[in-house]
A and B are shown apart, each in its own frame.
Chain A
Amino acid sequence: GQQVMQIPQYQHVQEGEDFTTYCNSSTTLSNIQWYKQRPGGHPVFLIQLVKSGEVKKQKRLTFQFGEAKKNSSLHITATQTTDVGTYFCAGPSIYNFNKFYFGSGTKLNVKP
């Protein structure tokens, strides 16, 4: 079946350092969405990318969708303690448009 993997699984950074998580799908995705889950909370939608090679920015966060639409990345510049949480990528494959697959997640810890 389809798999969506993320690396790294965990990342510990000092406040002010940058952070990147990478998402790789075994099949082509029609779009990619990113979610953030705070400890003890539920995932919250951050952004959606649809076009091949698309790049979007939200303040210190930069999201990129790969040219082949099978990978994506999230980069956070100058992390803050409020960035703590688990970041998930998610999306449907082009072969099964109505089933949604979540990545394994990257847990970010930011030390003040």
Chain B
Amino acid sequence: DGGITQSPKYLFRKEGQNVTLSCEQNLNHDAMYWYRQDPGQGLRLIYYSQIVNDFQKGDIAEGYSVSREKKESFPLTVTSAQKNPTAFYLCASSGTGNSNQPQHFGDGTRLSIL
């Protein structure tokens, strides 16, 4: 079945540590997105990518980094500069980058600080 796979499902970060969240899709979608969701809140855009080797900052990019070396993969690194990383992280993809296509989401990664 086609879909988006996020791993791990749960992740714990130590102080001063960088951690990387994986997002892989086999939907042949051009656009991919990373969102952060805090408890009881909506989704806030961290980074998005419309095509391979290109990505743009969203509204809360500070403390995060991404890469888009392959169409299928859009990993997110939560750096030590992100002082409040505890949240639910959702990866999504859509057919094109022009926002007229629905977004398909992975099951998410819950990140906590040790």
Contact = CB atoms under 8 A, between A and B. Distances in A.
Chain B: number of interface residues, binned into ranges: 20 to 34
B98 A42 contact: no
B59 A88 contact: no
B104 A30 contact: no
**A interface SS class:** strand
A68 interface: no
Nearest to A48: B102
Interface residues of A, number: 28
**B interface SS class:** loop
A104 B99 contact: no
B97 interface: yes
Given A102-B42, A103-B42, A45 B103 contact: yes
Given A1-B59, A97-B98, A42 B50 contact: no
A30 B99 contact: yes
16 contacts: A30-B99, A31-B99, A33-B102, A35-B103, A43-B103, A88-B42, A91-B99, A97-B99, A98-B50, A98-B99, A99-B48, A99-B56, A102-B44, A102-B45, A103-B42, A104-B41
Interface of A: 1, 4, 6, 30-31, 33, 35, 41-45, 48, 50, 88, 90-92, 97-105, 107
Interface of B: 33, 35, 40-45, 48, 50, 56, 58-59, 90, 97-100, 102-108
